[in-house]
Amino acid sequence: MTDDTHLPPVTPADVADALPAHGIDTSPDAPAGSPKLVFSGAWEQELLISGVVVFALLQLPGALQHRYARVAVHLDGPVSTAAAMAYSYGMLILYTLISSFLANLAARAYWVGLIGLHSVFPGGVRWEKVRQGPITVDEFRRRLPTLPRLIAAADDFCSVIFSVAFMLVLMFGISILWGGVLVVVSWLAARTFMGGAHASDVFAAMMAILLVPALAFTFDRMLGRRLRPGGVPERLIRGGVRTSQRLMMMPLYQPILLVLFSNVRRRAAYPAFYALVAALVGFYVLNDSVIGREGLMLESARFAPSALERHGVDARTYEDQRPEDEIDGVTPSIPTDVIGGPYVRLFIPYTAGRHDAAAAERCPGLRPFREAGLHREPADTVDRGGDVAALLACLARLQPVRLNGRPLAGVPFRFRTDPRTGVRGIVGYVPTQALPRGENVLEVGPSPLPKAREKDEKEKTRQPYIIHFWL
């Protein structure tokens, strides 16, 4: 709060002097003692634009999440890492823009309300009519800001908020750009010099190399004042600073950062900046990872089990019970829980990050159908029926299926791409004529993993997918 200690009462003249740029008419024609509002219409346009932009932006996080889920199931290695980075930073950009426009909308409405209040009561608080004790009134007069100061502060906030928001947007956008560049370079390097292997290791190494010049800022703060101008250490640090400026494209956003940090109290500027970034990242993680995917919720029912498995019915395993916009690239599924026809269609998703590595390790002799990278469908131009049969047999071993406790036999699998979600997988049509009426249970093994990941204790305890259906 602004400290207005020992300030005299606000007069109309003070208002006219303090608010020439905040919508108050200070011209000689204004009635004495009653400053009037003169709105140019700019604030109305600002409110309208902010509202429209917020409404439009609120549609984008869900669309981006849906698109990423549709693509992520087909990716692995550095391409998957880069896609995840681009998605994360893209969501942060959207959250930054949404929060900034919402804050501007609220702050500008608050500003308009303050100006309207001051135009009606230009004399401010009539302290003699405040029904509080003398000590409380004295503290209020000393500590509470006046309306002119609140109006000016709200207007300053509205003027600054977009520069801060777009500074963060540029920083996140540059991170996306460099992520894409490193993916392309690491893929080309691995393909050229390592036969296509170790692309993820090359990506991590190049990421570390990219961050090396930024160490110059740390060394400068620690040693810069003690270095001899023109010496080798001084030139190395200066070169690192210049390189980092170019690589990180600092001329686009660093002036905003320096202006803000050099004009605002340091004890407030840095904590506020880091708190803002932490709030954006925290909201993204909470909304996208915890609430959006793990179903975080308030719960008071103590005797209602949340575990599904054999003692419950998992709605994710029924395609007609999934949310329309949900894309699940891991959970096996059947069309519905009550089967009326002679077959039940079982679909097992194929995930590049799980099945590719597991198939290469556990089914020696399999030949890949294509190289990893950008392809235009259909990419397979040669009929390789033998390889397809071998791959289907391999996948059936990696993720075995049991029906009512017995291994599923005699059901051929085929490849299928879900037309709604774009998820690829294998599909088998299980005959139902010989099955008992009532409840039946399909048990599908957990998604296969590379041997290195199977050592994880959490992965060892993974349970098969249980699909109940009724005839």
DSSP per-residue codes, 12-40: HHHHHHH-TTTTEE-STTSPTT--EE---
pLDDT of residue 183: 81
The tokens for 141 are 């007069």
* In contact, 406 and 427? CB cutoff 8 Å: no
Tens digits of residue pLDDT in 257-267 = 888 888 877 77
pLDDT of residue 346: 94
Q: Is residue 4 over pLDDT 50?
A: no
- pLDDT tier, 135 (very low <50, low <70, confident <90, very high otherwise): very high
User: In this structure, what DSSP letter does residue 115 have?
Assistant: H
Residue with tokens 């194929």: 350
* In contact, 125 and 137? CB cutoff 8 Å: no
Nearest partner of 84 among 191, 197, 206, 200, judged by Cα: 200
pLDDT of residue 374: 60
Tens digits of residue pLDDT in 66-104 = 888 888 877 777 777 778 888 888 898 999 999 988 988
- pLDDT tier, 343 (very low <50, low <70, confident <90, very high otherwise): very high
- pLDDT tier, 18 (very low <50, low <70, confident <90, very high otherwise): very low
Out of 6-15, 338-347, 459-468, the most confident range is 338-347
84 CA to centre of own chain: 9
H helix or E strand, kind and range, residue 413: strand 413-417
- pLDDT tier, 26 (very low <50, low <70, confident <90, very high otherwise): very low
pLDDT of residue 176: 86
pLDDT of residue 160: 86
- Judged on CB neighbours under 10 Å (0-12, 13-18, 19+), 356 is middle
* In contact, 346 and 438? CB cutoff 8 Å: no
Lowest mean pLDDT across 33-47, 169-183, 301-315, 338-352? 33-47
* In contact, 154 and 114? CB cutoff 8 Å: yes
- pLDDT tier, 117 (very low <50, low <70, confident <90, very high otherwise): very high
**Amino acid found at 444:** V
Tens digits of residue pLDDT in 219-257 = 888 888 888 888 888 888 888 888 888 888 888 888 888
Q: Is residue 114 over pLDDT 50?
A: yes
pLDDT of residue 196: 65
Tens digits of residue pLDDT in 161-210 = 888 888 889 888 888 888 888 888 887 887 778 776 777 788 888 888 88
Percent of the chain with pLDDT over 70: 79
Other beta carbons less than 10 A from residue 413's beta carbon: 19
Higher per-residue confidence, 93 vs 286: 93
pLDDT of residue 68: 86
The tokens for 382 are 């040669």
Residue 243, C-beta contacts closer than 8 angstroms, at least 6 positions apart:
213, 216
CA-based R_g, the chain, Å: 32
User: In this structure, what DSSP letter does residue 101 have?
Assistant: H
Residue 230, C-beta contacts closer than 8 angstroms, at least 6 positions apart:
none
* In contact, 61 and 94? CB cutoff 8 Å: yes
H helix or E strand, kind and range, residue 108: helix 77-120
Q: Is residue 5 over pLDDT 50?
A: no
3-state secondary structure at position 59? coil
pLDDT of residue 17: 45
Q: CA 115, CA 76: separation in Å to the nearest integer?
A: 57
Q: CA 425, CA 347: separation in Å to the nearest integer?
A: 7
- Phi first, then psi: give them for residue 460, nearest 5 degrees: -65, -30
- Please state whether the peptide bond connecting residue 368 to the residue before it is cis, i.e. omega within 30 degrees of 0: no
pLDDT of residue 310: 56
Q: CA 343, CA 82: separation in Å to the nearest integer?
A: 41
Lowest mean pLDDT across 225-229, 252-256, 284-288, 332-336? 284-288
In the predicted model, what is the mean pLDDT of the chain? 79
Cα maximum dimension of the chain: 97
Output b/e per residue, 154-177; b: 16+ Cβ within 10 A: bbeebeebbebbbbbbbbbbbbbe
* In contact, 378 and 449? CB cutoff 8 Å: no
